[in-house]
Chain A
Amino acid sequence: MRGDMCDRIANLLPEYEAGSLSEGDRAKVAAHLERCDACRWEAAALRRTGELLSQTEPRRPTHDLWPGVAAQLSERQTRRAWRVPFGPARRAWSVVAAALMLVILVAGLVVHPPGCRVPVAAPQLVAAADAEAGQYARWHAEASMTGGLADSCALALLVSTGKPVPEEPKTQ
């Protein structure tokens, strides 16, 4: 028959079975188990719980997990290689981009200084010197100034020669 002592022992039994009780408590529990069938039965159930757990296999994944992990690592590595980095590296890229823009701006000022409103064209076209060819060259040169990509050929000529296009002949 269980009494107050059995309740106190029942609280100590898990630690007793786990081997974590102090020497004094351990001796107290052991002495009680000697004479109490109910507590011995409870101790046996706890012991069997531990044994049952140790006989249990862990759950296993249905497939090898490494290939999936390796694929994700490779994918992230590739993505990171293409991404503009943060921090100091990103600042360095910003400085390089700003310097490049400055060089382009200075080159533009040298080739076409402020105040010079007359575009330039290739000497071959200038040499043609008749009104129609001169106007044609002038239009191309002007188009290259406002939209260089739209008329890259004329822009290249403009940068290479740096000569002004003749004024459009005055018509009567």
Chain B
Amino acid sequence: MDERALVARAQQGDREAFAQLLRDHHLRVYNLAAYIVGDRTEAEDVTQQAFVRAWEELPRLRDPQAFTAWVNRIARNLARDRAREGGARARFEGPQPDPPETGNAEARGPEESLVVREREQDIHRAVATLSEAHQEVVVMHHLEGKPVVEIAQQLGVPLGTVLSRLARARAALRRKLAPHVEDDRP
């Protein structure tokens, strides 16, 4: 079932459809919230609150295609409120209870896994320093793997805006991640 149909069914009160929407969108929402609140438990809580709020407000969502941008906005607003309550923006760190694995994890030795994990932590910390608009396109394009055309549709912005945001975000990240991306200078 496509997303429009899921949103339409959820708007009629279908919880199964809404559960599917949560499964489809929660990773992005969680990551965006985590970049703002800087704490994984808080980010989980904010993500849940965002979907509870989304369920309650869903009948008022006019354009089902706007669901992605809309739920992102709800989550970011809640995360900002939570971050304000929690004081200064904390750094996104701490052990990963459910470590993400990239590539062929089983084939890597423990040392290589550690290197990958540290590099990923550096990357997430760097993304957390971007503006929220830049975080959004980085998460959608690089972490979710969505094509730029789809991102433009879902966010309701021109394709050029998505490309421009991605370009600026990558330029900022290239400087922050210099040790990971620079070869020896010519």
Q: Could you tell me which A residues sit within 8 Å of B by CB distance?
A: 13-15, 17-20, 37-38, 40-41, 44-46, 48-50, 52-63, 65-66, 68-70, 72-73, 76
CB–CB A57/B120 < 8 A: yes
Which residue of chain B is the closest to A39 with respect to CB atoms?
B186
Provide the residues of chain A in CB contact with B166, threshold 8 Å.
Answer: 18
Chain B 168-186 interface residues, beta-carbon cutoff 8 Å to A: 168, 170-171, 173-174, 177-178, 180-183, 185-186
Chain A min CB distance to B41 (Å): 8
Q: Least Cβ distance of A61 to chain B in Å? A: 5
- The chain A residue sitting closest to B159, CB to CB, is A20
A66 touches B19 (CB 8 A): yes
What number of B residues sit within 8 Å (CB to CB) of A?
Answer: 55
A57 to B92, CA, bound (A): 15
Known contacts A20-B163, A49-B170, A62 near B44 by CB under 8 Å? yes
Seed contacts A41-B185, A59-B31; 20 additional CB < 8 Å A-B pairs: A15-B164, A18-B164, A41-B186, A45-B183, A52-B181, A55-B102, A55-B103, A56-B143, A58-B30, A58-B139, A59-B40, A59-B43, A59-B100, A60-B100, A62-B44, A65-B44, A68-B48, A72-B52, A76-B52, A76-B56
Look across to chain B and name the residue whose beta carbon is closest to the beta carbon of A51: B181
Q: Which residues of B contact A58 (CB under 8 A)?
A: 27-28, 30-31, 100, 139, 143-144
Identify 29 residue pairs between A and B in the complex whose beta-carbon atoms are under 8 Å apart, listed by A's number: A13-B171, A14-B167, A17-B167, A18-B163, A19-B163, A20-B164, A41-B185, A45-B174, A46-B171, A46-B174, A48-B181, A49-B181, A50-B142, A53-B138, A53-B170, A58-B27, A58-B143, A59-B30, A59-B31, A59-B100, A61-B47, A65-B44, A65-B51, A66-B23, A68-B48, A69-B52, A69-B55, A70-B15, A72-B48
Instruction: Flag whether B160 is at the interface (Cβ < 8 A).
Output: yes
The answer to whether B185 and A15 have CB atoms under 8 Å apart is: no
In the complex, A16 Cα to B45 Cα: how many Å? 39
Contact B22 A69 (CB under 8 A): yes
Q: Looking at chain A's contact residues, is the secondary structure mostly helix, strand, loop, or mixed?
A: helix
Instruction: Please give the distance in Å from B136's CB to the nearest CB on chain A.
Output: 13
Interface status of B79 (Cβ within 8 A of chain A): no
**Residue of A whose beta carbon sits closest to that of B186:** A37
B26: which A residues are within 8 A, CB to CB?
61, 65
Q: Quick one: which of A19, A54, A55, A60 contacts B27, CB cutoff 8 A?
A: A60
Q: Across the interface, which residues of A come within 8 angstroms of B100, CB to CB?
A: 57-60
In the complex with contacts A59-B31, A61-B30, A65-B48, A52-B180 CB distance below 8 A? yes
- Chain A contacts for B168, CB-based, 8 A: 14
A2 to chain B, nearest CB (A): 11
Tell yes or no: B124 within 8 A of A by CB: yes
Closest CB in chain A relative to B26 CB, distance in Å: 6
Q: A56-B102, A60-B27, A66-B22 are in contact. Are A15 and B163 (CB under 8 A)?
A: yes
Beta-carbon nearest neighbor of A62 in chain B: B97
A58-B100, A69-B48 in contact; A14/B171 too (CB < 8 A)? yes
Across the interface, which residues of B come within 8 angstroms of A14, CB to CB?
167-168, 170-171
In the assembled complex, B57 has its CB within 8 A of some CB on chain A: no
Q: Is there contact, CB below 8 Å, between B98 and A62?
A: yes
Known A45-B181, A49-B181, A54-B145; judge A59-B124 contact (CB<8 A): yes
